[in-house]
């Protein structure tokens, strides 16, 4: 009986160690280098017609043959009219690599805030200006066809190399 208990304890310890390794390995698979993630907590206010650069900037290092990247920007915002957001790649022009328009939030019945959250995700291809080595990405935006004020609260910007 003692032999069975000792063997069971060893098996249980082995299973627990394997489970811990799997958990640690799966969490680290989602980790990103610090230069690929940026967060802002201070309100940025812009009053402009599109397009002005917004903080922050993220970077990714591309291999010898650049591959597509995914840039994701999430933010709390409010605006005085229709605004648009794009992406500046390597200091280039403000371009919409996907969805880019945001509307002025409407205060609904019973609501007490006109700040909303939005997420934009852009896929940038090598033909869009990605180069071997360091590449930078910065959100840009402003009024769509007219000057508007945009207040951007808490936001995150990330870039990932596609697999």
What is the mean pLDDT, run by run of 10 residues, along the chain of 163 residues?
53 49 43 84 92 93 94 92 93 87 70 79 94 96 92 94 77
Is the domain covering 34-161 a CATH 2.60.40.3880 domain? Answer: no
Output the CA torsion sign for 80, 48, 150, 96.
Answer: positive
Q: pTM for this structure?
A: 0.76
Q: What is the pLDDT of residue 5?
A: 46
Output the CA torsion sign for 107, 41, 133, 26.
Answer: negative
Q: What is the pLDDT of residue 10?
A: 55
Compute, in degrees rounded to 10, the torsion defined by CA atoms 152, 71, 81, 55. 40
Q: What is the pLDDT of residue 9?
A: 52
Q: What is the pLDDT of residue 6?
A: 53
Boundaries of every domain in the chain: 1-31, 34-161
- Rounded-to-integer distance, Cα 7 and Cα 1, Å: 10
């Amino acid at each position: 009986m003692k032999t069975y208990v000792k063997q069971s304890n060893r098996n249980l310890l082995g299973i627990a160690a394997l489970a811990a390794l799997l958990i640690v390995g799966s969490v680290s698979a989602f980790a990103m280098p610090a230069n690929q993630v940026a967060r802002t907590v201070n309100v940025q206010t812009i009053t402009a017609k599109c397009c002005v650069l917004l903080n922050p900037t993220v970077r990714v290092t591309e291999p010898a043959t650049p591959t597509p990247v995914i840039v994701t920007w999430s933010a709390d915002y409010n605006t005085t009219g229709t605004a648009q957001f794009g992406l500046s790649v390597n200091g280039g022009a403000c371009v919409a690599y996907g969805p880019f328009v945001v509307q002025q939030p409407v205060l609904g019945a019973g609501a007490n805030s006109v700040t909303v959250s939005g997420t934009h995700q852009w896929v940038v291809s090598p033909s869009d200006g990605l180069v071997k080595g360091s590449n930078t990405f910065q959100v840009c935006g402003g009024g769509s066809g007219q000057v508007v004020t945009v207040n951007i609260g808490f936001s995150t910007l990330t870039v990932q190399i596609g697999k």
